[in-house]
Structure 1
Amino acid sequence: MITEKDSRTSRSFLTLTLTRKFYRSAVLVFWIALTGNQLVAQVEQAAPKAKLSTSEAPSLRFEHLSIEDGLAQSTGNTIMQDKQGYIWIATQGGLHRYDGYEFKIFSSVPFDTTSLSDSWVWGTSEASNGDIWVATDGGGLNRLDPLTGVALHYRHDPNDSTSISGDRVFYPLEASNGDLWVSTFSQGLNRMRAGEDGKFTRYRHNPKDPNSITSDNLFWLSEDSDGKIWAGSANGISRIDPQTETITRYLFDPDANERYGVPQNVLGQYLPSGNQGILWLATGNGLVRLNSKTNEHKRFLIEPNKDGVNPLNFIHEVKPDPADPSVLWVGGPGTGIARFDIQTEQFTSYRNDPRDQHSLRDNQAVSLLLDRTGKMWVGTATEGVNAFNPGAVNFRNIKNIPDDPSSLAPGVVWGVYEDSQGSLWVGTDVGSAGHFLTQFDAATRKVTRHQHNPNNQNTLLPGSLRVFAEDADGRFWVAGGVGLNLFDRKTGKVTRFRRERKEENRGRNSIFALVPVANDKSNLWVGSVGGLDRFNTRTGIFTRIPLSQDSSELEPGVLSISQDPQGALWLGTNKGLFHLDLSGKVTLASAYDPRDKTKISDNSIHSIVERKSEPGILWLGLTNGGGLNRYDTKTGLATHITMKDGLPSNTIYGILEDEKGTLWMSTNGGISNYDPDTKQFRNYGLDDGLMALEYDQNAYMKGASGVMYFGSGLGVTAFEPKYLSTNSIPPQVVISDFRLFNKSIGGGVDSPLKLALSRHKKIKLSHNQNEISVAFVALHFANPAKNKYSYQLEGFDDEWVEAGSQRSASYTNLPPGNYTFHVKAANADGVWNEKGASIQFTIMPPWYRTWWAYLLF
């Protein structure tokens, strides 16, 4: 069985295509030494061609960390996560430690022999005691104490055969037995046995020795569950048995020149557990699945090769998806990011889109890291570090692509509908520029845009298209801002229906609700700004249904309709909730009354849902700040649920019920899921994969297969709730700073901290050091802005303090005594780390209040 010892560590590879002169020239010197001037190779003809799917690819929203955010340099060579949870980013300008909010940078400082020996850092890995092994480009190997910032240097000494073999070091790996393995550029592999600090054994390539490593130019290192060391190189991979020092070669070509981009370049790897010797390898020519027991391999290309190697197939990294074992993620210098489905053997690519500010910034993805919270980090060649949530692929964002008629028509989405044939219909509005109906045909996969033509009466009426219905005869009805359309889906021809322009019909052509009458094949309920109508589909006649008792009053505008199986109606209007029973009697069921909290909290009701498990209970979506209301049709009592209960916004446009009976709502703060049984919310925003936070009225629909659609000003968000998961990983909590009188204290002779903060069991303070502040951080990166904290100073606070997103606590004038500060944290999904972190301290009494002083007096 082969497992990856440390999947949190990421490695990058060299590329010739960077625009930064100093980076390109340094890499070019190295690769000329390897390759001469040829950079292409013969391609294996048997490589299967995986399809590249982009038109239907789910969207990813990338976060970007750049120099403006605190990076010292913008090339993310490698990325690692340590045991505490910090993210370490190696760049050409130093090593960065990131906590989700700010960077701490370690670099080479002139005349300071305790600093890093070189600021150009390649690979890093964590030592068993928490130190960081640092591989530099010209300063050898460093061992960094992240608590003190002191670095020990291991340099090549030509007069000492036990020194490291070279100062251009790529990647260090501390094995489970404590041995350290170090790869270098052109100087082979090094091993420093546990307990033999500074003494290295060297492993070099020997063309005449089959028990030597495949190449002296090495990249990644990894340890499997049997303790074997795997080393990828410019010419295949080597498996080293540390006990016997036996070396086994794979993908090695004894006649090959070590050129960049050739098939035998092994630039990254993933060793899945329990897969009988299967390795996934990132190579200079695609993704390779290697069976190390049979030595058989299969190569997968992102795009076909034509003349030489396609740059898209230069893959540097491969990482597993955190939730789906059948998915791998790869990155490379021309690849960008690609998602590989192991079952279908297909790639989906994500590359820079100049029109999308949230796309990958740079297609030269040189390193990947999957952190313990499920977030993927991408080190790029020129644009710093990008990060995304792989779970966001479960949201599909359908949007307009300029100059692409096969995409959604432009404009704000006012209506969305999946018909009985599985086709999707979307109504968009670009104001004076026109109104569109986009048809995504499920059978032909064809996309067609339909639009009003003033010279053709058989086209759609002008105005936004909001609501849709299919009658008992299968005819398709589309309604919107200026009337009702009967749309022939075969021919595209339209028959128009409108109320006459009379005073009593004012607003009745602006339609917001369209529902077939229950147990009636010939009629539709039509809700509009002007009230309620019954429309006969056979005769084309509208019949007004009065809702107001006073004919002089304006009729309530009907914004939503809920019909029970017998045919009774609940009407959401701009004047409250109305009921129309089977006898035709109309009743105002509930309306907002500021003096009566048992009434609904707002009169503007744009959505009504009756859960299957709760007959007689209506859930109302209110748009003027009323939030979500639970209305009991038997008692007439309303319960109000708002932002203080967990809603992201008090404006709700659409409500849909899923298979589990939970409610999904589109709001002005994203999409919210609410479980009425547990009263728990899960809110989804931009970091979760949504394209927008503000959604629109009428634009919501649940398809036959359970897919939910919500429309916004940017397009349509579609998803299946069963594929959305909660991040159940609690955050790691670290006490990051201890301050006296708002000044950080570090270790030292004159400091209360004789050691670094995290190494202290207890801090001793004098009586006048009684104004303290404690800083803390939850190292959970899925959505750090929504991490929450709670703390308590034992010996002072009687209860836990709910701190929200605040990351520090302060206390003044603390009396002498023993204290323990506790802090715990929750991730964005509300999963708490109850253990958290703690630190003890004692404030000593003044000398005149000590026991011996009392004896003297």
Structure 2
Amino acid sequence: QHATKHPVLAIKEVNPGLTEVAIDQKRRFWLFSWQTKHERRCYDEQGKPLKDTLGLAENRGYQELRYITETNRGVLWMYGANALYVLDNLSKRFIFTHAETSNNQIQYAYVHQVMQDRDGGVWVSTDNGLYYTLETNSSMDVVNFIFKPKVSNEPYEFTDILELKTGQYWLSTWGKGVQTLTNRFQPYEANIYRGMPRLDAVSKIQYSQTWSLYQHKDDKIWIGCQGGKYMIYDPVSQQTQFLTCAAADNATIRYITGDQKGNIWLGTQRGHVIKFDGKSFSKQQQFKSIIRKILIDKAGAIWVNTEQEGVFELSGDGAKVVRYFSTQSPYGKLFQDVSTDMDELNDSVLVYAAGPLNFINKRTGKVTWLTVENGLPSNTVLRIRKDHLGYLWINTRNGLCRYNPVNKRFTTYGKRDGITSAGLTIEADYLCSENYVMFAGSNALLFFKPSVFETRQRPPDVVMTDIRLFNKFIPVDSLMSLAKVQFKHSQNSFVFYFSSLSYQQKDKLTYYYRLSGIDEEWVEVNNRQGQVNYSLLPPGKYVFSVYSENIDGVRSAKITKFSFEIKPPFWLTKWFISFAIFLLLLILYFIHRLRVNKLLAVEKLRNRVARDLHDDMGSTLSTINILSSMAKTKIGTDVAKANEYISKISDNSQRMMDAMDDIVWSIKPSNDSMTKIVARMREFATNVLEAKEIEIDFRVDDAVYDLSLNMEARRDFYLIFKEAVNNAAKYSGASCVTIVLRVEQKLLLMEVKDDGRGFDPVAADGGNGMGNMQKRADAMHAQLQITSSIGAGATVSIRIPAS
């Protein structure tokens, strides 16, 4: 309908001085106006007045409500100058937040804005700074209550908590009696000390120094006091009995509880364990340390928590010590003997605060410690209380935490969760019928509903916040925008930083990560910093994946991934590896070829030796054999002819020995050098020519000694030389033979020149000698030249390629 015709605008009281208008999710109209005073009104859509403004007038001083914020749960915040209200949906009443109240820990003169983040946390912007609080349906979901002393500045030192069967809460104090509160935590008078008889001054003080509270099956409340005093209060008659326990020997009664049989058990400052069976007190045990707590488990066993001697298990009647646990016990050993509290986790496990957490298996006697290394905030546990969900709430020297025995995780809670007084509430704990977990201590009471901290909402997806390459940070946004992220092979050490951007769940998330190719399974981050280090990664393609999980095991919706590649060095690239393999195969091929060639060369040598032996030795031996037969036939008839044959046999034998010597010399490796060749040539020439009284002129250039010839060339070269020298000695009739060895243009030149009678090369019959010389020259790819003329001597020259 048209705005001007809306029923709310028709109300006469609305328009004058109207300053603010807001409509919430329930279609309620909130109108603030200012004429003579600040008016706050609420109407439904039909213009009917509503009483939903209850509590908005709590601040009697000057204030102006200027703004309204409604959260996702429908919780209304109204604020402005000297005003900050929040609607309690359970009590249907606005709760005013006093700026000067220290337990709220907020200071303001003007609230500028209230907003809610995506996790449901509420942020309050004031002229004194920015504040954060956890949104709840009720102002009673998390309460940090600070007590103000009425008379003096001495704080309330709370020692125990008790919820009465009628719902009220009692808190014992040391020196200020018992503080009594309604189920809404409002003070009320129970008249505990009304009717106190005339007592001496010390006794009066002792009855005000209360330590322990217990309500028996008969509804009567027992109150343990200083100096063996105790009180029994009857809620029906509101009468109190002021009594003294003689069995306590004037020791303070530190703890009171009852068993299933109706017996009442008392623990004292001096280590007494006293049983009251309804008629009389009897001292069952005497320890040497303060009794901090007596716990009776479901099986009826009595567990006694001493301050400095460990924990003792007593029989059901308390008369016998069944076993004990300490640092020196024969059973499982405690972390330390000094203890402050204990609770029963289940039928089998007792949780004991002796330094860190000590889990005692009642069946096996095994003791397991959980320390800061397992996630405990501190190794000094002060209070333990199990809630209705099975979680352990642990108050430590470093604050409050929760232990989940299913996934074995610790979760810390602090200011961002609304917990501000954990450090003060370290003396007493309690679990009430409404499932509140309560802690009390010096002037403070902390209570909360554990279900408030449960969340089934998925944590935000993990965000990569930084990447550090060695000591240099790389802009994450620029990397994420690239289609392909590549690094050099030397850029291989990374630190990945990541976080789920949630202020409320910051310390309550567990991260799991995996780097493909390195991690086979998901790895849990051991710290809350959200960082992982990888050093000296080998080249390859990688995907870094990470997700978060909250305390209830709910994962983030998506797995955050970062893909990158470390390029290999050139010697690890495919083309280089292929080239190296090819080169290796080529080398292997050449080695193989060399081996084959060597084998072929050996085979060739064997064939040549066999051929030479066959040709030279075979023919010579055949000749010797024929001559021997002929000499044998003539030895008796023609002696002269027989002697001629024997002389020829001797010549052939000598020639065969020379040929054999040449073969052996040519294949011997030590004769490969030109020095050995030249020496043998000089020796042969000297032996042959001097026998004919022919003068020798043997000339060798020094460069000749630097050359080398292979085995085949060396033999052929030597045999050509030998043939030339033999021809000069036999046929030339020379008086002098000149032998020259020199190097010309990388060629080895040999000349054998005589000054004999000479011959006509054209008319001469070359015979086998000259033909063999030409064949050997051709085998060496050498140039053989024989020049001669009648009366001018002869010259044999050969040019051989040499290295």
Aligned to 2:447: 718
Question: Equivalent residue for 1:531?
Answer: 272
1:571 matched residue in structure 2: 304
TM-score normalised to the size of structure 1?
Answer: 0.55
Which residue identity does 2:540 align to in structure 1?
A: G
Listed as ranges, the matches of 1:397-436 within 5 Å are 397-403=144-150, 410-429=155-174, 434-436=175-177
Any conservation in 2 of the 1:589–1:636 contact (CA below 8 Å)? no
1:442-453 residue pairs with structure 2 within 5 A?
Answer: 446-447=188-189
**Structure ranking higher in strand proportion:** 1
Distance 1:843 1:449, change over 3 A: farther
Q: Does 1:561 align with 2:294?
A: yes
Is the Cα contact below 8 Å between 1:396 and 1:717 reproduced in 2? yes
Tell me, in whole angstroms, the C-alpha distance in 1 between the residues paired with 2:262 and 2:499: 62
Find out whether 1:374 has 2:102 as its counterpart. no
Describe how 1:287-686 pairs up with structure 2 within 5 A: 291=45, 300-301=52-53, 312=63, 314-320=65-71, 325=73, 327-334=74-81, 336-341=83-88, 344-353=91-100, 355-356=102-103, 359-380=105-126, 382-391=127-136, 393-403=140-150, 410-429=155-174, 434-440=175-181, 446-447=188-189, 456=201, 459-461=204-206, 464-471=209-216, 474-488=219-233, 495-497=242-244, 499=246, 509-516=251-258, 519=261, 524-535=265-276, 542-547=281-286, 555=288, 557-563=290-296, 569-573=302-306, 574-582=308-316, 585-593=319-327, 598-604=332-338, 606-610=340-344, 615=347, 617-622=348-353, 624-632=354-362, 634-674=363-403, 676=405, 679=408, 681-686=410-415
Match of 1:700 in 2: 429
* Structure 1 residue 658: Cα displacement: 4.0
Separation of aligned partners in 1, 2:142 and 2:404: 20
Output the amino acid matched with 1:833.
S
Q: Give the Cα separation in 1 of the matches to 2:8 and 2:317.
A: 81
Per-residue displacement from partner, 1:93-130 (whole Å, max 9, x unpaired)? xxxxxxxxxxxxxxxxxxxxxxxxxxxxxxxxxxxxxx
> Which stretch shows the higher mean deviation, 454-463 or 824-833?
454-463
Is the CA contact 1:461–1:496 (under 8 Å) kept in the aligned structure 2? no
8 Å contact from structure 2 (residues 411, 507) kept in 1: no
Q: Deviations over 1:710-764 (max 9, x none)?
A: 2123412223445552363313322233445544445xxxxxx9x8444334324
The 3 A distance-change label for structure 1 pair 258 and 449 is same
Counterpart code for 2:230:
N
Distance 1:257 1:456, change over 3 A: closer
Structure 1 residue 782, shift from structure 2 partner? 0.5
Q: Tell me if structure 1 keeps the 8 A contact 2:122–2:135.
A: yes
Change (3 A) 1:838 1:526: closer
SS in 2 for 1:762: coil
Q: Measure, in 1, the Cα distance between the counterparts of 2:513 and 2:315.
A: 55
1:837 aligns with 2:560: yes
Whichever residue aligns with residue 179 of structure 2, its letter is T
SS in 1 for 2:558: strand
Determine if contact 2:425/2:445 at 8 Å carries over to the other structure.
no
CA shift for structure 1 position 461: 0.9
| Contact preservation (8 Å) 2:121, 2:135 | yes
Inter-CA distance 329–816: structure 2 relative to 1 (3 Å threshold): same
1:686 CA displacement: 3.8
SS at match of 2:556: strand
How far residue 639 of structure 1 moved from its aligned partner, in angstroms, is 4.3
Unaligned residue ranges in structure 2 (runs of 5+): 34-38, 581-803
Deviations 1:59-102 (Å, cap 9, x if unpaired)? xxxxxxxxxxxxxxxxxxxxxxxxxxxxxxxxxxxxxxxxxxxx
Cα shift at 1:780: 0.9
> Is the 1:498–1:509 Cα contact (8 Å) retained in structure 2?
no
For residue 20 of structure 2, what is the aligned residue in structure 1?
A: 265
Matched letter for residue 377 of structure 1: W
Letter in 2 for 1:560: K
The Cα shift of 1:473 comes to: 5.2
Q: CA deviation at 1:511?
A: 2.4
Measure, in 2, the Cα distance between the counterparts of 1:497 and 1:700.
26
- For the Cα contact (< 8 Å) 1:331–1:365, is it kept in 2? no
Letter in 2 for 1:777: S
Contact 1:682 1:829 (8 Å CA) reproduced: no
**Which secondary structure does the structure 2 equivalent of 1:479 belong to?**
strand
Q: Deviations over 1:199-234 (max 9, x none)?
A: xxxxxxxxxxx98xx8xxxxxxxxxxxxxxxxxxxx
Q: Deviations over 1:521-568 (max 9, x none)?
A: 7x6544442322235776xx7533245xxxxxx645433223368975
Q: Partner amino acid for 1:587? A: V
Shift of 1:375: 0.9
The residue type equivalent to 1:495 in the other structure is F
1:798 deviates by 5.0
> Closer, same or farther in 2 for the Cα pair 1:467/1:821, shift >3 Å?
same
Give the distance between the partners of 1:352 and 1:306, measured in 2 at CA.
13
Output the CA distance in 2 between the equivalents of 1:676 and 1:458. Answer: 46
- Aligned residue for 1:833, secondary structure, equals coil
Which amino acid counterpart does residue 331 of structure 1 have in structure 2?
A: M
- Alpha-carbon distance between aligned partners in 1 of 2:222 and 2:549, rounded to the nearest angstrom: 48
Does the 8 Å CA contact 2:64/2:83 hold for their aligned counterparts? no
CA separation of 1:787/1:455 partners in 2, compared to 1, >3 Å: closer, same or farther? same
CA distance in structure 1 between the partners assigned to 2:342 and 2:493 by the alignment: 55
TM-score by length of structure 2 reads 0.59
CA distance in 2 between partners of 1:595 and 1:807 (Å): 41
* 2-structure distance, mates of 1:641, 1:780: 28
Q: Residue 219 of structure 1 corresponds to which residue in structure 2?
A: none
SS at match of 1:726: coil
For structure 1, which runs of at least 5 residues remain unmatched after alignment? 1-209, 215-235, 237-247, 548-553, 747-752
- Secondary structure (helix, strand or coil) at the match of 1:461 reads helix
In structure 2, what is the equivalent of residue 737 of structure 1? 466
Q: Aligned partners of 2:532 and 2:430: how far apart in 1?
A: 46
Contact 1:282 1:330 in 2 (8 A): no
Deviation at 1:250, TM superposition (A): 9.1
Counterpart residue number, 2:795: none
1:374: Cα distance to partner?
1.7
1:285-309 CA deviation, whole Å, 9 max, x = no partner?
6575664xx67785854656799x9
Cα distance change on mapping 1:481 and 1:313 into 2, 3 Å: same
What secondary structure sits across from 2:204 in the alignment?
Answer: coil
Partner of 1:781, secondary structure, is coil
Cα 1:833–1:474, aligned 2, differ >3 Å: closer, same or farther?
closer
Mapped to 1, the partners of 2:298 and 2:444 lie a distance apart of 33
Question: Which stretch of the first structure deviates more once superposed, 672-681 or 567-576?
Answer: 672-681
Assess, with a 3 A threshold, how the Cα gap between structure 1 residues 482 and 441 changes in structure 2: closer, same or farther.
farther
Q: Could you tell which deviates more after superposition, 438-447 or 555-564?
A: 438-447
Q: 2:23 and 2:516 mapped to 1: Cα distance?
A: 48
Deviation for aligned residue 1:586 = 0.8
Match of 1:793, as an amino acid? L
Structure 1 vs Structure 2 CA RMSD = 4.7
C-alpha change, 1:286 and 1:714, in structure 2 (3 Å) is same
In structure 1, the partner of 2:673 is none
For the pair shown, the structure with the greater C-alpha radius of gyration is 2
SS for the counterpart of 2:416 is helix
**One-letter code aligned to 2:113:** S
Secondary structure of 1:361's aligned partner: coil
2:326 corresponds to which letter in structure 1? Y
- 1: CA distance between counterparts of 2:204 and 2:142? 33
